[in-house]
Structure 1
Amino acid sequence: MLPVLAGTLLLQACNKDEFHTTADGLVYKVYELEDGEYKNKGEVAPEDTTGAKIGEIVTLQMLYKNSEDSVLFDSRTQNQPIMIPVMEPTFKGSLEQALMMLSPGDSGVFKVNADSLFAKTFGQPLPPFIKPGSQLTFFLKAEKVQSREQAMADQQKMFEEQMKEAQARAEKQIKIDDEKIQQYIKENNLQNVQKTEGGVYYAVTKPGSGPEADAGDQVSVHYTLTHLDGKELESSRNNPMTKNEPFQFTLGQGQVIRGWDEAIAELKEGSQATLLVPSPLAYGDQDRGPDMPANSILRFDVELVNVEKQ
């Protein structure tokens, strides 16, 4: 992937060059890398077969804009390229034809009819922010052209690397969160606090007399969720969408955050408790909006209403 600045300069350079049009109506400019510089390949001959072929997978960076130059999508914001299978063209001048004009390392600018793209490729109505009869401009940079088997192997490898990186970040963050939680416990004088093996702190405020829940049991839980600063985010007791009923889930099946699976298993039916969940056992480094920024430590005041043994 080009650095953002280099990518911007490339796109600016592309805009200064002449577009070409295929017999099917695809408007394009294609660039190949030579001696460290991108050079316009000029008009691509119809018999040129050096690009991606039907059945292959193209790994690429993609940005596209509407006719008013508004960016609708940019893969660089996802910090990883996307993979697109090359299929039979769905219409003349299609995006599939654009992919078949690119070899690994090539970049290109393509103008595709928006009406045809949505109707014949996406099978969806044209969105209101795209004018009927207009063109979408695609900026593509092909990184790899592979067989399906090669692409799947690469994807698996990339997934494993991402998991390792995420685990390393979580291990670092949980130490930071642990210190903050301990300080919170001290400042708020929480009593009888215990800690799960994974790192959730919990304090039983009202013991229950019913059974403990095991993995696979159906449980019903009332809860109030707050940040450590006391700001309430939601409560099952004040939720018209669920008619203020307790939240039900199967314990130990990953249906809830890991912190819940760990801490609820420590409680007996009828118990009330406070849970302090470090961010790696909640939503981690995901930014879920202004009320749930990345690495949020969460407090849950819960009541284990019912345990249905399985």
Structure 2
Amino acid sequence: MLSKTKFLLPVIAGAFLLQGCNNNSDEFYTTADGLTYKIYERTEDGAYENKGQVSPEDTTGAKIGEVVTMQMSYQNAEDSVLFDSRTQDQPVMIPVMEPTFKGSLEQALMMLSPGDSGVFKVSADSLFAKTFAQPMPPFIKPGSQLTFFIKAEKVQSREQAMADQQQMFEQQMQEAQARAVEQQKVDDQRIQEYIQQNNLQNVQKTESGVYYVVNEPGKGPQASAGDQVSVHYKLTHLDGKELESSRNNPAANGEPFKFTLGEGQVIKGWDEAIQKLQEGSDATLLVPSTLAYGEQDRGPDMPANSILRFDVELVDVEKQ
């Protein structure tokens, strides 16, 4: 996270950060190096006021080597929002480095103190050529400017920022685990209803919560962690919509999917449930979202918290 690559994220629509500031009536200023800006500082009553022109001698902002934790969005010349950190559920942390060109984003960060908000216009050509060292994407016009909306939350040493980052990750993990516990209850209820509605018989459940039915038991060796296994599968939603099938996968020439069991190469539900089968088994797996892709949104065919059904055939077990 402490890198410039944080800027280069997918195009995301979002709201601007400086709500409550009257951007239309406030005046922009331009530094001697060509950085166009307006900076707001928070008053005692909680409102934001345009700070006015910042003196070149002003040293109250972030310094080279420090890390700015901020909420940030930016847009192209057509006012299309290209990134908004508020949609990521976490602030952006960027180390302040030596400016890569006159009127750079690094200079913008050096004008901000904790609590300040700013609007900055930066040359798109220079930003991509000298800061990102990457070709400019087609949705940004040559010769145009990107407008950055930044609210500085903290200015810290690198060590302090890394400690904060670690604490934030731990908190996010705890929150995600708590959500998963509640989602598991929801998924379990839905799977039980599905089993009843479809009159599935001889249903078993793994320790973590995958429901499975052995439709045709195998006669080969029992699969276990560390084995190389080959599996044919058909993936569907509970509504019956087919998402993919190993037999109809042209990229694999219809061959079964091969992986090492129990090493996290597949979703948790597979790592656990396949170990319940013997080579040659034909089975149905009902995998709760928490043991599949969880809160990941994998597109319109697999939204977040999707319960998945797999019809599998354990073709081969290579004991290791």
Answer whether TM exceeds 0.5 for this pair.
yes
* Whole-angstrom CA distance in 2 between matches of 1:138 and 1:208: 61
Comparing 90-99 with 212-221, greater Cα deviation is found at 212-221
The residue type equivalent to 1:25 in the other structure is G
The residue type equivalent to 2:36 in the other structure is V
Q: CA RMSD in A?
A: 1.4
* Whole-angstrom CA distance in 2 between matches of 1:15 and 1:101: 21
Q: TM-score, normalised by structure 2?
A: 0.92
Question: What's the counterpart of residue 276 of structure 2?
Answer: 266
Residue 39 (structure 2) pairs with residue 30 (structure 1): yes
Report the 3-state secondary structure (helix = DSSP H, G, I; strand = E; otherwise coil) of the residue aligned with 1:168: helix
Residue 37 (structure 2) pairs with residue 14 (structure 1): no
1:98-148 Cα distance to aligned partner (Å, 9 max, x none): 011111100000000000001111111111111111111101000011111
Residue 179 (structure 2) pairs with residue 200 (structure 1): no
* Whole-angstrom CA distance in 1 between matches of 2:70 and 2:285: 44
* Whole-angstrom CA distance in 2 between matches of 1:309 and 1:121: 51
Question: What's the counterpart of residue 131 of structure 1?
Answer: 141
Question: What's the counterpart of residue 164 of structure 2?
Answer: 154
Q: 1:219 aligns with which of 229, 249, 257?
A: 229
Report the 3-state secondary structure (helix = DSSP H, G, I; strand = E; otherwise coil) of the residue aligned with 1:142: strand
The residue type equivalent to 2:288 in the other structure is P
Report the 3-state secondary structure (helix = DSSP H, G, I; strand = E; otherwise coil) of the residue aligned with 1:265: helix
Residue 97 (structure 2) pairs with residue 66 (structure 1): no
| Aligned ranges 1:41-190 → 2 under 5 Å | 41-190=51-200
- Aligned CA distance change for structure 1 residues 201 and 272 (closer, same or farther; 3 Å): same
Structure 1 residue 216, shift from structure 2 partner: 2.1
* Whole-angstrom CA distance in 2 between matches of 1:251 and 1:54: 48
Residue 258 (structure 2) pairs with residue 248 (structure 1): yes
Comparing 76-85 with 137-146, greater Cα deviation is found at 76-85
The answer (yes or no) to whether the contact 2:234–2:310 under 8 Å persists in 1 is yes
Structure 1 residue 15, shift from structure 2 partner: 3.2
Structure 1 residue 239, shift from structure 2 partner: 0.7
1:205-258 Cα distance to aligned partner (Å, 9 max, x none): 111122222222221111100011111010011011111111122211212111
Q: How many residues of Structure 1 are paired with residues of Structure 2 in the alignment?
A: 305
The share of aligned pairs that are identical, in percent, is: 79
Structure 1 residue 172, shift from structure 2 partner: 0.8
Structure 1 residue 261, shift from structure 2 partner: 0.8
Task: Structure 1 unaligned segments of length 5 or more: list them.
Answer: none
* Whole-angstrom CA distance in 1 between matches of 2:119 and 2:302: 38
Question: What's the counterpart of residue 237 of structure 1?
Answer: 247
Report the 3-state secondary structure (helix = DSSP H, G, I; strand = E; otherwise coil) of the residue aligned with 1:131: coil
Question: What's the counterpart of residue 191 of structure 1?
Answer: 201
Task: Structure 2 unaligned segments of length 5 or more: list them.
Answer: 1-14
Structure 1 residue 5, shift from structure 2 partner: 8.9
Structure 1 residue 6, shift from structure 2 partner: 7.8
Kindly report structure 1 stretches of 4+ aligned residues shifted beyond 4 Å: none
Report the 3-state secondary structure (helix = DSSP H, G, I; strand = E; otherwise coil) of the residue aligned with 1:7: coil
1:50-72 Cα distance to aligned partner (Å, 9 max, x none): 11111111110111111111111
